Structure formats: structure tokens, C-alpha cells
Structure 1
Amino acid sequence: MAKNTNQTIETEANVSDFINTVEDETKRSDGFKIIELMQEVTGLEAKMWGPAIVGFGSYHYKSEAGREGDAPLVAFSPRKSSFSLYLSGYDGKVQLLEKLGKHKQSGGCTHIVKLADVDTEVLKQLIKGAFEKAKTLHKG
């Protein structure tokens, strides 16, 4: 039986070129601002993961089912209706989300339509918490 392979892998694609493909001017501007926030918090450079995810840092995972690959520690993607923020769960995340502002949760993603809808200081705290938790979980 063939092993599943992760389609979302780090690429050499240019992050700025990708964000510049976002048609909506506000969303494009917000995309660059989210990159700045994540770079400030993580101290890491933005990298493309697959065709549409901007990630920071990476870790190697191996699931109980035998699937393995690499993934970013924190990431986001400018989707058509909102930004999907990939921020892992940790103690205190729920309390911060209550202070974030207008957002939705689905699965492990936090969705925001635009930065003006949220408190960016709280967003930075969310990014930091997720980044620190992911680094702790995925040492090696």
C-alpha cells in the first residue's frame, strides 16, 4: 500500500508574489500586515507552503497511522471569504479568542475577514502562544 504524502510542503515560491495575487486590495494589504505580525512574533522569515499557505518555521511529524511530513509551526492563508489562521491550541487560547474581536473557529483554524475586525495585540498573543506551544511539542 502506498504511503500518503503531504501535498502541503515548503516551496521556493516568493511570498510577496503570492500575496500580490490577492485581488481585493484590503485583503492584500492585510496579508502583508499578517506577515509582519507573524515575523515579529516568531523572528522567522515567511515561506510558502504549497500554493496558498504562508508559514513560519517548520517541524516534522509522524502520525500513528504512519503518515509523516513537515508542517509550519504557525501559518495563514488568504482564502476567498476570510483569512485562515493556523494556530495550534494551547492553554489560554480560548480566553484570548474571546478578546480577539470578530472571528470564527472551524477545526483548528481561526478565520478573520479583515484585520480591522480584530485587536492586533490580542492576535499577536495568539500567534505567540501557538508558536511557543508548537515549538515545545515538536522539539527535535
Structure 2
Amino acid sequence: MKKRRSSAEAACPCGLPSPYATCCGRYVEHWPHVPAPDPESLMRSRYSAFVHGRADYLLATWHPEFRPADLTLESDAQWLGLEVRSARWLGDAHGEVEFVARYRVAGCAVRLHERSRFVRQGGHWLYTEGDVKDRGC
């Protein structure tokens, strides 16, 4: 009989070959004491937060000037994968990450292609906004 892995031992949803606990989980589960060290890590951890339904982390890592008042996640979304296309620093306090996230909701396959922007404030990277290049359904 195969031993089932705990959620801490499970592969990280962001696609890196590490367990969730030592990959994105360290940021999602220990915010604000363990901030993501760069824009790509923050973007990957935000994807993992969507997978795990962690609206609290998503809101906490959204820059206040751009953050919505509340965030309702699609409870029936099935997250299928993340591909980071590029990540670049724009000076010490700004960065961009281009990615494609795939998920299925209500029988509809969605492919979200976005270039996200991030800013560093008070030692924490924060998501500001993004340009959506392509989106299904």
C-alpha cells in the first residue's frame, strides 16, 4: 500500500520540484515573517495560494493602492499548472513576471497569460497589477 503524502510533503503547485512546505508554503503559511525574496517567488506563491484557496495571503501580498476590498475565489476551480515565461528585475524595488496559469472552472478551460508587476516596500514584494495577454472562456 502506498503511503499518502501530507500536504506539507506534497509537490508544490507552482511547478518547482520541491515540497509545498519548503517551496511556496514557507511564504504562504508564514507571512509576514517569511516574505518572498523576489518577484518570481512571490508570483509562484500567489499561484499556490489560489490553488489552496488562501485569499488572505493574496490580499496581504497585493499592494494597497491596487488591492480589491475583498476577494472571492472560485471554489470549484481546478488548477492545472503554471508556466513562468520570464522574470526580470527593474531596479532594486520593481520587477515583472510573465506567466501562463491554466485552470478549469464550470467545465471551461481557462488559460491566463499575464505580465504582472511587483514593487518592493518595507522588505516585502507586493503585486501591483498585470497586463492580461490572453484568457480563455
Which structure shows the higher helix fraction?
1
The structure with more strand, counted as a fraction of residues:
2
Structure-1-length-normalised TM-score: 0.28
